[in-house]
Structure 1
């Protein structure tokens, strides 16, 4: 199968709110796809359509060539939503057993917990776990049925840096074994670390769909860094930062900026121009989209 999940010209409304606006997206085997976008951009709504929790207002959604509403199709997926509630009186091992029992092909409990750094908590009651441990358990449960495709909605929210990187390793391990992942995140370094493909959402529409490098190139944004005591107003500046005596300007037109800087007669030194991070590209894409709404 060349496509595991597909949205075709999908629109979803909640009353007067347009959450998705004619979105088309294919998820292919072996991909790690990162969905980026501000709150309300439509990321979670799209995941809810793919996993059968919502139906589109118009357009079609397919899962493994069938309907996401079909329980047989859903057996091949794992899901971690943004918010999860687990029975606090059950032990970690019991929760894994309960979730695994819903699938014909179950992951080995010990291996699953070890993958996400939870093996020493197998007998701990859920109510005694920290918030970060509960979140790691919620993510681990998405892999309990040996899924082909996993949907992770803000998987590392609330985790510290060490726990986040541990969870990344669990996701990478699944991917290296041939698994497919669609994840949303506000941590842009997370998408850069995990995803091969980035889909940027804004106002319910797909603004960009490509590799991390290509998304940067599509935006055409560069960071101009220099040393100067003061700067005049310069064209095309999206953001300004000052650190360690240097001024960094994020701009859509570095050539014009430098020309205007020279024309202004402002003394400066140490001029550097480099590509932006994914975060800077993301800000530029969404700000451009907002300007056209």
Structure 2
């Protein structure tokens, strides 16, 4: 029989109906307050001076390329790893103390599960490790897996196993839920249903911190995005604010006669590309380019497209270490 992973210890009085997440009475205390965190592995500095403050009830996405330091940062928040320098508190407590008081739940992207028992049995076994938990059927419902409660874990898909980990994390109804690539292995419908459940929890006051490679998830579900590159925070704000940092826009128009050198010479124009009867212009001042096309050419069907979160992600993280990480871009927080 496979070993059960050591779950995050949680504790919360048994309740029925729709419980309120476990949070301290002092609402002025941040859910997460990390300052100057650093963590190295040999000569590799995975986390390099990260500052991160998250208030109760926020849904925050942590984004970054592979090796950016996202998972290491999450380990530091959960007390699974100690920082080489800096401090981190969860609701004013050390991570381990917050975990011991049942303030934190976690869904990690990997971790062994008992495969030769049922989904319900795994949740029951996990619940038996704690003093006070939510009813097993309640967390199965909230994780969307009650219908497969009697299925052996070995017969569950990767997405269903992620939902099982989610159910285990919900047993104490923690105030802070930390998710590391939570929808790995889920299909489109499963991901949508999962995030609907997360949003419902956040509406009740739960704080959600998640790392993901799916940029559309961060765009759609996060109140705030923290972009990490080379172990540092390079941008911190809403999805709209992050997108605005990649200020260039693409102007597409159908045009037969256009002076490409003249377009290229306009202030703020990054590139001009001809594609058959169309021209694509990437520029900081899209209005000026559109005006030029309308008044100086025979352009029709002019379309202006703002950059996406993916465009901002690429622009802000860069390809070479230190390209953008030396100057973090922070938007004012409410």
Same fold (TM over 0.5): yes
Indicate if the aligned counterparts of 1:6 and 1:62 stay in contact, CA closer than 8 A.
yes
State yes or no: 1:275 paired with 2:309.
no
Q: Could you say which residue in structure 2 is the equivalent of 1:153?
A: 180
Following superposition, the deviation at residue 51 of structure 1 comes to 0.3
Q: Displaced runs of 4+ in structure 1, greater than 4 A? A: 71-74, 228-235, 239-242, 244-249, 265-268, 288-291
Judged with a 3 Å threshold, the aligned counterparts in structure 2 of structure 1 residues 240 and 82 are, in CA distance, closer, same or farther, namely farther
TM-score normalised to the size of structure 2? 0.76
Indicate if the aligned counterparts of 1:75 and 1:103 stay in contact, CA closer than 8 A.
no
Following superposition, the deviation at residue 12 of structure 1 comes to 1.0
Q: Work out which of the residue numbers 108, 125, 134 in structure 2 matches 1:107.
A: 134
Q: Distance in 1 between matches of 2:47 and 2:312?
A: 22
Gaps of 5+ in 2: 1-25, 325-334
Q: Could you say which residue in structure 2 is the equivalent of 1:5?
A: 32
Following superposition, the deviation at residue 74 of structure 1 comes to 5.8
Query: 3-state SS of the aligned residue for 2:191?
Result: helix
Aligned-residue CA RMSD in angstroms?
3.1
Indicate if the aligned counterparts of 1:51 and 1:68 stay in contact, CA closer than 8 A.
yes
**For each residue in 1:254-289, what CA deviation from the matched residue of structure 2 results, as whole angstroms up to 9, or x when unmatched?**
449939x86xx9875322224322222222212287
Judged with a 3 Å threshold, the aligned counterparts in structure 2 of structure 1 residues 229 and 35 are, in CA distance, closer, same or farther, namely farther
Q: Could you say which residue in structure 2 is the equivalent of 1:221?
A: 248
Judged with a 3 Å threshold, the aligned counterparts in structure 2 of structure 1 residues 64 and 291 are, in CA distance, closer, same or farther, namely closer
Indicate if the aligned counterparts of 1:63 and 1:73 stay in contact, CA closer than 8 A.
no
Structure with bigger gyration radius: 2
Q: Could you say which residue in structure 1 is the equivalent of 2:120?
A: 93
Indicate if the aligned counterparts of 2:91 and 2:98 stay in contact, CA closer than 8 A.
no
Q: Work out which of the residue numbers 42, 45, 51 in structure 1 matches 2:69.
A: 42
Indicate if the aligned counterparts of 1:21 and 1:205 stay in contact, CA closer than 8 A.
yes
Q: Could you say which residue in structure 2 is the equivalent of 1:203?
A: 230
Q: Could you say which residue in structure 2 is the equivalent of 1:175?
A: 202
TM-score normalised to the size of structure 1? 0.86
Query: 3-state SS of the aligned residue for 1:175?
Result: helix
Judged with a 3 Å threshold, the aligned counterparts in structure 2 of structure 1 residues 71 and 35 are, in CA distance, closer, same or farther, namely closer
Q: Distance in 2 between matches of 1:154 and 1:107?
A: 24
Query: 3-state SS of the aligned residue for 1:236?
Result: strand
Report which stretch shifted further, 210-219 or 62-71: 62-71
Judged with a 3 Å threshold, the aligned counterparts in structure 2 of structure 1 residues 229 and 198 are, in CA distance, closer, same or farther, namely farther
Q: Distance in 1 between matches of 2:129 and 2:257?
A: 64
Gaps of 5+ in 1: none
**For each residue in 1:167-193, what CA deviation from the matched residue of structure 2 results, as whole angstroms up to 9, or x when unmatched?**
111111111111110001111111122
Q: Distance in 1 between matches of 2:67 and 2:159?
A: 25
Report which stretch shifted further, 62-71 or 265-274: 265-274
Following superposition, the deviation at residue 241 of structure 1 comes to 12
Following superposition, the deviation at residue 111 of structure 1 comes to 2.3
Q: Could you say which residue in structure 1 is the equivalent of 2:145?
A: 118
Following superposition, the deviation at residue 127 of structure 1 comes to 0.9
**For each residue in 1:140-185, what CA deviation from the matched residue of structure 2 results, as whole angstroms up to 9, or x when unmatched?**
3221221100000111112110111011111111111111100011
State yes or no: 1:236 paired with 2:270.
yes
